[in-house]
Structure 1
Amino acid sequence: MKNRIVISIITIIIIFKVGRLEAQTPNHNQPFSHQFYQKFDNKIYSQKTKFHSSIKPYFIDDTILKPSVDSFFNVNLDTNKKSWAHRKLFQEHFIEVKNKDFTVFADFLPDFTLGYDEVTGQNTWLNTRGYQLGGTIGDKFFFYTSGFENQAKFPNYITEFVNENGIIPGEVNDKFGPRKSIKDWAYATAILSYTPVKYLNVTLGQDKNFIGDGYRSMLLSDVAANYPFLRLTANLGNVKYMALWAQFQDLKSPQFSYDNGFRKKWGVFHYLDWNVTDRLSVGIFDAIIWQDADSTGKRGFDFSYVNPLIFLRPVEGQNGSPDNALVGLNLKYELLKNLTVYGQFLADEFTAKEVFAGNGYWANKFAYQIGIRGFDMFSVKRLNYLFEFNTARPFTYTQRSSLLNFGHYNQPLAHLYGANFRETVGILNYSLGKFDFSGKVNLAQYGLDASANDNFGKDIYKPYSTRNSDYNNITTQGLKTSLLVATGRISYLINPKYNLRLELGGLIRSESNDRGDRNTTLISFGLRSSFRNFYDDF
């Protein structure tokens, strides 16, 4: 261990020394939504560029992406003199300071929405007051933080999820629990990004990460709550490499004490993306999840997983195989000038003999994705599209306990539905000046547990030892359920600097199985200012 610490110290010294020799524009990498990134598909998925599209958040000052991003942020820019109030409302940050040594920007982020569910006759609403603060120091350091105070009255299906899981989807725990129908919560994000040389970025964050080219990810997604992480990203032209160390929380396992808070677990992720040709990219993924402590003692952070270049599975085996190891593959091929084919495959655990036997062995745990996406559909400029299929076999991402599963804060770290499902997604997005139009349809089938004593493999927080059967396990087994979620949004951009917009939205949701139907038909209108992904399609 002493040798590892010495090597790490020497490496840091070298990085800082080299960093003094070469100036580099900071890599701004605060996360944006899938819809926001989709606006730039004509650059990201062009055969004329070799953009590493599968590692998000993107560095938006990348030379390929920067012109398009600047064009969006400056859409309202008017060089004529305007009043201070006009400039702040329509084209500038509320606070903005620029000089040769540092820059700072800050904004108030409102998210006020009113809605009405025609099926239940209930009103819904969201009242969010937030802020963002960011900037640069020198030519290598970027910082960003945001915080939000929220109250909401959700449609029934989201309220039921919150009451059952104790969390706001993708955010934090519900302050007052199921005894109150109005939900109250607060959450924050923070990113410190340092680029010592143009080939390397070091980011310390309390936020999310995403690996993949699709709307969903079967490897690592932004579904769950924020978490603390350290990320190294190396860019060597055709090869981009990411090493990520993170700490997660498990709300299911009993706390040791109030002072210790929720139980903790650790994760390490390696991902290498290689642009093999102008059209073909191959990404290789591996990950390990391990628990921080059990009743017999504290393990803490395992330094055997520190080396960012080592394959994780042999190290996990050397430790006695106590942890959860996963491997995966991400592929992308730009088939036409405006059409890209992409896919993922994840192997959680499998026995080769059982796979070829075709007998539905429970431990043949894998997931995959296949999709197409592109831009200028039917030769219509700025009409972007995506169609994808996702599936995960029963018990994928599960483990002996929730302290080892591929989850964080009562939600999956990969696909929103967990496992034991099939899903098809279609998305269209079109921009015309300050107007933006988007539509999305999700069609899914999954197998629910018919009773509390069942485990058919969808809930990744149930130990796989409680499974109903060792053999004859098939995808969507259990209480077979069909889901349709269709959403549409029309927005008008007010201020691009913090995505302030007026938005009219609609949602139709239908979930049905042998026990009945649950329907939602929601229309909403609001003043919004978020760039982030918030998933309501479950």
Structure 2
Amino acid sequence: MALLKTTYTLRAAAMLFSLCATAIPVAAQNTYLNYGSEEYDLVDRLETRSGYLISAFNTASKPYSRKDVVDFLAEVQRASRTRGLVVNDIDAYNIGRAISISGEWYTNSSGEGGAIESRRPVLRYFYKKQPDLLHIDKDDFFMVVNPVLYLQGGYEKDGGFRSINTRGVEVRGRIADRVGFYTMLADNQEKVPAYIDEWATRHRGQFPGEHYSVKNGNNYDFFLARGYIDFALWRDHVGLTFGYDRNQIGYGIRSLVISNSTAPATFLRLRSQWGDFSYENLYTELVSNNTVLLSGDGLLPRKYASIHQLNYTPNHWLNVGIFESTVFAKQTGVPVEMIVPVIGYQSLAKQMGIGNTVNNNAWGLQFKALPLSGLQLYGQLYIDRADWSALGSASWKNQYAAQLGIKYFNVAGVPNLDAQAEFNIIRPFTYMAQEDSITSFTHYNQPLAHPMWNNYAELIAQLRYQPVPRLNITARAIVSKRGADSAKIGNGIYGLSDQRMAGDSYRMFNGIVEKGLFGNLNAAYELRPNIYIEAGGNYFRKNSGGISSGNNLFLYAGLRWNISRRIYDIY
């Protein structure tokens, strides 16, 4: 009994899992693609154009395994050579590029890896392979080391010079086909546009998508740190990952469950794949809402969350899934009941009064469908709380969020011109805590799911065009509407729904109505694998309570090296 009552930290639990994993004969452990990598768009495009959903791995859960992606792309490559699958020249180039970048997971007929050899290595030892500064491939050890660099300068109307300055290194590899590992460390300074600084102010000084930062005016200084170790507990079926990074669930630009737009967190993830079924358990340690970030001292308060999802592909054109998420009101260690890897257990335990019953529990559904070749539909429904007797009414108890999206590849027959439209709507009080502020669906003073809180609706439209192999042009526009004022009318993430204003009726956009318009146009040219020069611009306008904030125009140009582009599409 004493053992059952003992609390463990998430790191201790992960250590136990890790020790168990190393005692099991394993093979084909994984490393994962960084968020924003071109490979995500490529996999999505090829899958949708084929008319057949991928069932070998779960595309609703990001990041993707490099091995899974290379296996899929290699199969497409073989089919284009032997079975008459039509792949245009640009797609063929993208497939070859992606396999080369993750070449450790590919072996050709001669027994060689997929990374393309460089014609002229630097000082004989560097860039022997085109994608990698340092590439080591031995029988029981593989490792690549690459620099990370993001230099950007720009001019904001009425705001002056803005910049990004990121320098670091990333390392990935595997040991004896038993352990996969990745780490990225970088120092970062940014002088952000005014509307991003305003977003940070509303979130108690927290920089969007990152952990602790130091602020001086609208200059932010923070350290980027990501890393994980990965084990294959059962080859091609069960994998375990422990690390500090982001996770995302869903098929859209936004996620209504957990998003890669939030700060990284310590996590333990168990992924399972059995035929047409995929199942995932995600356990994570979060930082509670606090004001310590403003002063920069003190131990930040912790909390814990578990997310389970089950997805099923019943046929070649449809995937459906269900998920459960729970945030626990406990700061001193992992609740024992949190570790139970069974979807639905947390809801049942709360109803029966088992364990820590003060928590924020929610359910949801998601789907992806391919009704026609080149056309994809997707969506999510997140149910935080529902009054089934008054469903569809303005009752404050109807706390839910919904997403519906469509992707169209080769628009109007134009090769590699792809379009996407996505609609998101979030009811008042959704994601907020009810009994204890610790249980709000937040991390580091920012939303854990959709970055724009609640009492909010938006329409996102995006075009992506690749006219030649190395050039990508992307345009994104967002039209939004929000009811803003205070947590008492259902907006925000810091209050309690039990402290709402009098009355039960809370329609969408209660409070001060804010209307926003955001646009981004970006052109990126790849000089060498993962080295980009780019230029573009952001446009932002907001009207709050009938008062316009004016037009914010920001133009920029820069260089990216082994790091994804940042799109500040929040306000």
| Distance in 2 separating the partners of 1:399 and 1:83 | 56
Change (3 A) 1:421 1:490: same
Partner residue of 1:464?
497
Q: Is residue 44–residue 53 contact of structure 1 (8 Å, CA) maintained in 2?
A: no
SS at match of 1:157: helix
Partner residue of 1:425?
460
CA deviation after TM superposition for structure 1 residue 389, in Å = 0.4
Change (3 A) 1:531 1:125: closer
CA deviation after TM superposition for structure 1 residue 90, in Å = 9.2
Q: Is residue 30–residue 144 contact of structure 1 (8 Å, CA) maintained in 2?
A: no
SS at match of 1:305: helix
SS at match of 1:184: strand
Deviations 1:435-479 (A, max 9, x none): 111111111111110xx6x63222122222332343231112211
Write the mapping of 1:438-517 to structure 2, written as runs, cut at 5 A: 438-449=474-485, 455-496=488-529, 499-513=530-544, 514-517=546-549
Q: Is residue 369–residue 391 contact of structure 1 (8 Å, CA) maintained in 2?
A: yes
CA deviation after TM superposition for structure 1 residue 533, in Å = 6.6
Partner residue of 2:66?
60
Q: Is residue 194–residue 218 contact of structure 2 (8 Å, CA) maintained in 1?
A: no
CA deviation after TM superposition for structure 1 residue 385, in Å = 2.1
Unmatched runs of 5 consecutive residues or more in structure 2: 7-13, 78-93, 102-113
State, as a whole percentage, how many aligned pairs show the same letter: 25
Change (3 A) 1:465 1:410: same
Are residues 1:103 and 2:142 paired? yes
Partner residue of 1:166?
205
What TM-score do the two structures reach when normalised by structure 1? Answer: 0.89
Q: Counterpart amino acid of 1:525?
A: A
Q: Is residue 402–residue 463 contact of structure 1 (8 Å, CA) maintained in 2?
A: yes
CA deviation after TM superposition for structure 1 residue 495, in Å = 2.8
CA deviation after TM superposition for structure 1 residue 377, in Å = 2.2
Are residues 1:72 and 2:98 paired? yes
Q: Is residue 60–residue 69 contact of structure 1 (8 Å, CA) maintained in 2?
A: no
Partner residue of 1:50?
54
Write the mapping of 1:208-357 to structure 2, written as runs, cut at 5 A: 208-252=246-290, 261-293=299-331, 298=332, 300-311=333-344, 312-317=346-351, 318-319=353-354, 321-355=357-391
CA deviation after TM superposition for structure 1 residue 197, in Å = 2.0
Considering only aligned residues, what root-mean-square deviation do their CA atoms show, in Å?
A: 2.9
Q: Is residue 89–residue 495 contact of structure 1 (8 Å, CA) maintained in 2?
A: no
Q: Counterpart amino acid of 1:202?
A: L
SS at match of 1:304: helix
Are residues 1:32 and 2:9 paired? no
CA deviation after TM superposition for structure 1 residue 94, in Å = 1.4
Partner residue of 1:191?
228
Given candidates 81, 87, 97, the residue that maps to 2:119 is 81
Q: Is residue 283–residue 329 contact of structure 1 (8 Å, CA) maintained in 2?
A: yes
Q: Is residue 153–residue 181 contact of structure 1 (8 Å, CA) maintained in 2?
A: yes
Are residues 1:149 and 2:182 paired? no
Change (3 A) 1:520 1:109: same
Partner residue of 2:402?
368
Q: Counterpart amino acid of 2:452?
A: Y
Partner residue of 2:559?
527
SS at match of 2:334: coil
CA deviation after TM superposition for structure 1 residue 516, in Å = 2.6
Deviations 1:508-529 (A, max 9, x none): 1111122332431111000113
| Distance in 1 separating the partners of 2:496 and 2:140 | 53
Q: Is residue 457–residue 464 contact of structure 1 (8 Å, CA) maintained in 2?
A: yes
Deviations 1:167-221 (A, max 9, x none): 211012331x3x5332211120011111132211000010011111111111221
Q: Counterpart amino acid of 2:473?
A: F
Q: Is residue 148–residue 168 contact of structure 2 (8 Å, CA) maintained in 1?
A: yes
CA deviation after TM superposition for structure 1 residue 153, in Å = 1.4
Q: Is residue 329–residue 358 contact of structure 2 (8 Å, CA) maintained in 1?
A: no
| Distance in 2 separating the partners of 1:140 and 1:387 | 41
| Distance in 1 separating the partners of 2:130 and 2:489 | 53
| Distance in 1 separating the partners of 2:128 and 2:508 | 51
Q: Is residue 447–residue 475 contact of structure 1 (8 Å, CA) maintained in 2?
A: yes
Q: Is residue 118–residue 129 contact of structure 2 (8 Å, CA) maintained in 1?
A: no
Change (3 A) 1:10 1:120: closer
Q: Is residue 206–residue 446 contact of structure 2 (8 Å, CA) maintained in 1?
A: no
Are residues 1:383 and 2:417 paired? yes
| Distance in 2 separating the partners of 1:122 and 1:387 | 33
CA deviation after TM superposition for structure 1 residue 536, in Å = 0.8
| Distance in 2 separating the partners of 1:128 and 1:15 | 35
SS at match of 1:88: coil
CA deviation after TM superposition for structure 1 residue 313, in Å = 0.6
CA deviation after TM superposition for structure 1 residue 331, in Å = 1.0
| Distance in 2 separating the partners of 1:339 and 1:443 | 23
Change (3 A) 1:315 1:274: same
Change (3 A) 1:280 1:516: same
Deviations 1:66-122 (A, max 9, x none): 6666533638986573242697399231111111111111111110000011x3151
Change (3 A) 1:73 1:510: farther
SS at match of 2:197: helix
Q: Is residue 289–residue 442 contact of structure 2 (8 Å, CA) maintained in 1?
A: no
